[in-house]
Chains A and B, each alone.
Chain A
Amino acid sequence: MGNVSEPNGADAPISMPLGTDHAEIREAVQRVCRDFPGEYWRGLEEREEYPTDFVAALTENGFLSALIPEEYGGLGLPLRAAAVILEEIHAAGCNAAACHAQMYIMGTLLRHGSEAQKNAYLPGIASGELRLQAFGVTEPTTGSDTTQLRTRAVRDGDGYVVNGQKVWTSRAFQSDLMLLLARTTPLDQVTKRTEGLSTFLVDMREARGNGLEIRPLKAMINHNTTEVYFDNLRIPASALIGEEGKGFRYVLDGMNAERLLIASECIGDARWFTETSTRYANERTVFGRPIGQNQGVQFPIARAYAETRAADLLVRQGCALFDAGQPCGEAANMAKMLASEASWHAAEACLQTHGGFGFAREYDVERKWREARLYQVAPISTNLVLAHIAQHVLGMPRSY
């Protein structure tokens, strides 16, 4: 299996794997993850540290360059291969959030950047020398309403001057470059609100202390997320990706890949929860029998498993469409929503199955439970997915 076709024309045949696809990649990821057991992640959380060693192991073994074309030093693999990598990381009890963005943010650069930009950055990103894993979209006052964002980039001579603020900019401290979405033409001067936004590749190594300030944002999970402040930050005009004013479309383009990859992480989480629940339900004996003998314990686990399998099929379909170069927005959004719900239901079943021990840190259940909750909110919340389906797929009136 593993027979997803290469990116192709719109009429390319589509096939999707049903069984264990990319078995050799899965196996290799499992080998790496074996060195990073639960106690590693618990320790990091206590110290609020970034999983530097884990990310280094993935980088050294080439996993994070999977999607970068070979001509730029990557492996040029299909999206499905990256999905499998992230799924296995999460199924092993690890968490890929510290580095998944290094795999896909470069997509915007790859699709819309100039040849000079691609040659300048992609080989470094492929080797891991250069980290492009910060994505500045969300702002504190406008949230999901992306087109209303207030950060401004104003053309000034041979560059732009940026002012504004981003929130939840994950991994900004662990990234050299940031993909920034900012408004270049004020809202009242554009015909459509999706116009006038532009994407920039900001070199944070030069910018920090010169108009760019990053502050850590403490969160429910160890996510290394931050707030970023721009105060008259000067960036060169060469930082602009593609055409000025078209940035929103460029960002949307990359979102399908992101959704499918996040959905794969959810599938991995769900697998971890279900395996952990099943093992515990078979072992834990009270009232003289394994708790798993009670249907009240079995059914939530079984239901979440069924939901996971269904969501996984949609993830596979989404990846197959993406890899065939066909529109996949509907599948990608639905896959992310259903996978995030399946993993949450599996998480809930797992915590409940473990009773009081579910709260004991050493079981990792509570950590994974907190981590799994994120994906119904970010990178896009469930309501916004539903609004997309209702309005763009089904054709009901727009609510916003």
Chain B
Amino acid sequence: MKVLVPVKRVIDYNVKVRVKADSSGVDLANVKMSMNPFDEIAVEQAIRLKEAGQADEIVIVSIGVEKAQETIRTALAMGADRGILVKAVDNVETDVEPLAVAKILAKIVEEEGPGLVLCGKQAIDNDMNATGQMLAALLGWAQGTFASKLAIEGDHASVTREVDGGLQTIKVKMPAVVTVDLRLNEPRYASLPNIMKAKKKPLDVKTPEDYGVDVSPRLTVVSVKEPPARKAGVKVADVAELVDKLKNEAGVI
């Protein structure tokens, strides 16, 4: 089985995000960019499937700027086999929207014929949580989202989902799109020899036109603002005081 893992290059999770002075977005000039952490978990899961003999090839796809090649190389250094970069934008500040990403991925899935697509549940930049679901819909495939456990059993996958009320285990028919959550695994990091080997692994560079997909944005960002700074809290002596404050000061009960 071939596994396709789409990965997104996003602002590094350690970087303190700054909103640009003109409120048009966040500052991405000269900040550290890395693989979306959920995508890293998806890559790790694909490698584990390969190690377990359940997958034979792992193809990484990234859609974005030229530099997303580095993100693909990171996945190749972890253990994936080859990469496809779809160079869709020139400027890091232009985000490719989930629908366009899903359409391109759908075309790549048609070409590559994977048995499983493993995505991160969302990208930590815009937190859209949409691409995997849209891709499943476009393909007419089953989907299992927010996976914290995944087992391939013949022509089905058993996916344990992290839902609000707890855990839900579903069985989906393969081929399927599975989006992964934080607790699925702990991604490995690449060793130096594997980083060097990854440089020689094949990486195709494509454009949205190759797939006949229009990536021009459909959404307009009106303004981006920092959330209001959190004010210091107060300590209450007992439950009675808490109830009193919630009633009379906050007016919420």
Contacts and interface: CB of A to CB of B under 8 A. Distances in A.
A28 interface: yes
A24 B195 contact: yes
Interface stretch (B90-98, B108-116, B186-194, B228-236): B186-194
Tell me what chain B mostly uses at the interface: helix, strand, loop, or mixed.
helix
A77 B196 contact: yes
A243 B225 CA distance: 71
Interface string B185-220: 000011111111010000000000000000000000
A66 B192 CA distance: 8
A63 B190 CA distance: 11
Contacts of A60: 191
B73 interface: yes
Nearest to B196: A75
A393 interface: no
Interface string B66-86: 000010011001000000000
A62 B197 CA distance: 12
Contacts of A27: 34, 74
A56 B23 CA distance: 47
Interface residues of A, number: 16
Contacts of B198: 24
B13 to A, nearest CB: 12
A25 interface: yes
Nearest to A29: B192
Given A24-B70, A24-B74, A27-B74, A63 B192 contact: yes
A23 B192 contact: no
B191 A24 contact: no
Contacts of A75: 192-193, 196
Contacts of B189: 28, 31-32, 61
B14 to A, nearest CB: 9
Q: Which of B34, B189, B190, B194 has the largest number of chain A CB atoms within 10 A?
A: B189
A23 B70 contact: yes
Contacts of B194: 62
Interface string A297-325: 00000000000000000000000000000
B192 A62 contact: yes
Contacts of B70: 23-24
A contacts with B: majority SS: helix
Interface string A232-247: 0000000000000000
Contacts of A65: 192
B193 A28 contact: no
A75 B195 CA distance: 11
Nearest to A77: B196
A32 B189 CA distance: 8
B4 to A, nearest CB: 23
A61 B196 CA distance: 12
B74 A61 contact: no
Nearest to A23: B70
A337 to B, nearest CB: 29
Interface string B166-202: 0000000000000000000000011111111010000
Interface in A136-185: none
Interface string A23-48: 11101100110000000000000000
Contacts of A28: 77, 189-192, 195
B74 A62 contact: no
B251 to A, nearest CB: 34
A61 B191 contact: yes
A62 B77 contact: no
Contacts of A32: 189
A313 to B, nearest CB: 19
B195 A25 contact: yes
Interface string B6-18: 0000000000000
A61 B191 CA distance: 4
A75 B34 CA distance: 25
Interface string A206-232: 000000000000000000000000000
Contacts of B191: 28, 60-62
Contacts of A63: 192
A247 B9 CA distance: 51
Contacts of A66: 192
Contacts of A31: 189-190
A9 to B, nearest CB: 25
Interface in A50-77: 60-63, 65-66, 75, 77
Contacts of B193: 62, 75
Q: Which interface residue of B77, B196, B198 has the most chain A CB atoms within 10 A?
A: B196
Nearest to B73: A24
A67 to B, nearest CB: 11
Contacts of B74: 24, 27
A82 B120 CA distance: 34
Nearest to B190: A28
B30 to A, nearest CB: 10
27 contacts: A23-B70, A24-B73, A24-B74, A24-B77, A24-B190, A24-B195, A25-B192, A27-B74, A28-B77, A28-B189, A28-B192, A28-B195, A31-B189, A31-B190, A60-B191, A61-B189, A62-B191, A62-B192, A62-B193, A62-B194, A63-B192, A65-B192, A75-B192, A75-B193, A75-B196, A77-B196, A85-B192
7 closest Cβ pairs, A-B complex:
A62-B192, A31-B189, A61-B191, A62-B193, A62-B191, A63-B192, A24-B195
Given A24-B195, A24-B198, 20 more contacts: A23-B70, A24-B70, A24-B74, A24-B190, A28-B77, A28-B191, A28-B192, A28-B195, A32-B189, A60-B191, A61-B192, A62-B191, A62-B192, A62-B193, A62-B194, A63-B192, A66-B192, A75-B192, A75-B196, A77-B196
Interface of A: 23-25, 27-28, 31-32, 60-63, 65-66, 75, 77, 85
